[in-house]
Structures are given as structure tokens and as C-alpha cells.
């Protein structure tokens, strides 16, 4: 259990349905690009590895997210459930963004998540690779914010 009285459903142990819901809620949050709001999904003592950067608590995770979205402009993300068991979920994802010079990228990654009984994420381990793309190669075209329910997911897009 984390060190707060917050609760963030769905709660473990996960079923396929609740794991898919947890993944979509995470995707929706990250697509908001609101670091303060997104950070509330993580325990106060959350531990992260994101590429070569580490966070040791919620405040460090929030600061990481603020830096990320200041650099990764017009960010759009799709997450997909890969596997789950008990209080753990594995996801694969891709997101598209551009830098302040207009260079576009598609970033591919995998994350392993571990949750407390309260549904807050205790541990997040992310591995990510960036691929430069032309703007014409973009596949994520919805307006900034939540991905519409009728927009294809990663499997449907062949990613």
C-alpha cells in the first residue's frame, strides 16, 4: 500500500476488463499533457525508470512529465495492454510528437507497471525508442487530448 489515503480504481487484482480500463485511463491522462493531474495516478513514493532517467517520488514524476511535454510538442499517445497478473500490467505503446524545430518522431515503448492495493502506481519501468518520421507519415491525427473511441489502436494501425 502506498503512503497516502488516495484510491485510484480500477484496483488490483486485475481482470482482463479492469486491466484494459486501467491502460485506457493512463492513455487518456497522458494525452491530457497535464503533469499535475497525471502525477496523481502515482503513489507518493513511486519509483520510475524512463529511458535513462529515474524518479523516486510523485513530485519527481510530475517534474519529469512537465519537462517531457515542454519538449515533446503536439504529443499523441496510444497504449495497448500486453499482459497482466495480480497487481501488475505490461503495456506497449507508441506516441507521435515534434520538437521545437518541427522534426517529427514516433516513439515506441514498453512499460511494466506495479500497483498498490489503492490502485496507485508504485513502480513504472519504461523502455522507449524514437524513430524520426516525416510529417506525412504520421498516423495519429485526432485533435489534441483524448484519443477518440473510434480511432484505431496500435494493432489496427499495424504498429
Q: Is residue 43 part of a domain?
A: yes
What is residue 105's predicted lDDT score, i.e. its pLDDT? 98
Q: Is residue 20 part of a domain?
A: yes
Q: What is the pLDDT of residues 118-147, one digit of tens each?
A: 999 999 999 999 999 999 999 999 999 999
What mean pLDDT do residues 6-12 have? 97
Q: Is residue 29 part of a domain?
A: yes
Q: What is the pLDDT of residues 62-87, one digit of tens each?
A: 999 999 999 999 999 999 999 999 99
How many domains, in total, are found in the chain?
1
The pLDDT of residue 1 is above 50: no
Q: What is the pLDDT of residues 28-49, one digit of tens each?
A: 999 999 999 999 999 999 999 9
Q: Is residue 112 part of a domain?
A: yes
What mean pLDDT do residues 10-34 have? 98
Q: Is residue 71 part of a domain?
A: yes
> Which CATH number do you get for residue 81?
3.10.450.50
- What SS3 state is found at 159? coil
Q: Is residue 4 part of a domain?
A: no
Specify the DSSP class assigned to residue 20: H
Residue 58 sits in which domain range?
16-137
Residue 113: CB atoms within 10 Å: 21
The pLDDT of residue 3 is above 60: no
How much of the chain is helix, strand and coil, in % rounded to 5?
Answer: 25, 40, 35
Show the 3-state SS of 71-130.
HCEEEEEEEEEEEEECCEEEEEEEEEEECCCCCEEEEEEEEEEEECCCCCEEEEEEEEEE
CB 79 within 8 A of CB 55: no
Q: Is residue 156 part of a domain?
A: no
Specify the DSSP class assigned to residue 4: S
Amino acid at each position: 500500500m502506498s503512503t497516502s489515503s488516495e484510491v485510484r480504481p480500477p484496483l488490483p487484482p486485475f481482470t482482463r476488463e479492469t486491466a484494459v480500463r486501467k491502460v485506457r485511463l493512463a492513455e487518456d491522462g497522458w494525452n491530457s499533457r497535464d503533469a499535475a493531474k497525471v502525477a496523481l495516478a502515482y503513489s507518493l513514493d513511486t519509483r520510475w525508470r524512463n529511458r535513462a532517467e529515474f524518479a523516486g517520488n510523485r513530485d519527481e514524476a510530475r517534474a519529469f512529465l512537465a519537462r517531457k511535454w515542454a519538449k515533446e510538442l503536439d504529443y499523441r499517445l496510444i497504449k495497448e495492454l500486453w499482459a497482466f497478473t495480480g497487481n501488475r500490467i505490461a503495456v506497449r505503446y507508441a506516441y507521435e510528437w515534434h520538437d521545437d524545430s518541427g522534426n517529427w518522431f514516433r516513439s515506441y515503448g514498453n512499460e511494466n507497471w506495479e500497483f498498490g492495493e489503492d490502485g496507485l502506481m508504485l513502480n513504472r519501468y519504461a523502455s522507449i525508442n524514437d524513430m524520426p518520421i516525416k510529417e506525412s507519415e504520421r498516423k495519429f491525427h485526432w485533435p489534441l487530448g483524448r484519443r477518440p473511441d473510434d480511432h484505431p489502436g496500435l494493432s489496427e494501425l499495424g504498429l
